[in-house]
Amino acid sequence: MLGGAAGELIFSARLDNLAMCHAAVTAIAQIARPSAIPVIALFDHEEVGSGSAAGAASSVLPRILERLAGSREDFHRACARSTCISADMSHAVHPNYAGRHEPRHRPQLNGGPVIKTNTQQRYATSAATAAMFAELCRAEDVPIQHYVHRTDLPCGTTIGPIASTLLGIATVDVGNPMLSMHSARELAGARDPERMTRVLARYLRG
């Protein structure tokens, strides 16, 4: 449901993480002649740790990719040449709790995709992968935001570090900003989904 004075807000259940799934599926559906092989992976059980037969920590993704590659050697070569965008929603700064964010890392609704960094590796972003995603956004004329989690606060994680560990693929953790995460009525910006979709489509085209 749209809300706000100018319809600039989205209210819905399960924006985390169906919004990023929608962006990825929409993006890959637009790809006609990719210069590389585009892959998206949508997993169950991320919110309870990904440790299941169908979760990101299982052998499902490595086994499928290896079979697609044709041989184990080709699989390892493909992983070495690949990058990964781990797309999960991001916490926007809450006006009542701005102190929970670092002063220069306070994502705003409708401010564009967020690159997420954590020094304790709860996110898989590195300097190189952050620069890669920022360049994709620049090429699409999409504004970019940065979120660095405070090290004195506990931090959730994503499937980015899991996939990066299993596959050895350079990964960036990103997501659109939102409020009320995990509530029955989550809140995000209405302009951000289209932006993320454009950036993911450019990435998947290779």
Q: What is the mean pLDDT of the chain?
A: 92
The token duo for 173 is 């953790």
Residue 48 pLDDT grade (very low, low, confident, very high; cuts 50, 70, 90): low
Domain segments of the chain as ranges: 2-31+39-205
In terms of C-beta density within 10 A (0-12 exposed, 13-18 middle, 19 or more buried), how is residue 179 classed?
A: middle
Radius of gyration of the chain (CA): 17
Instruction: Report the distance separating Cα 147 and Cα 12, nearest Å.
Output: 23
CATH 3.40.630.10 fits 2-31+39-205, yes or no: yes
Instruction: Report the distance separating Cα 128 and Cα 83, nearest Å.
Output: 11
116 phi and psi angles, rounded to 5 deg = -105, 130
pTM for the whole thing? Answer: 0.92
Q: What is the pLDDT of residues 146-168, one digit of tens each?
A: 999 787 777 778 889 999 999 99
Count of beta carbons in the 10 Å neighbourhood of residue 153: 8
Residue 92 is given by DSSP the state P
HSE-up of residue 44 (Cα within 13 Å, Cβ side): 5
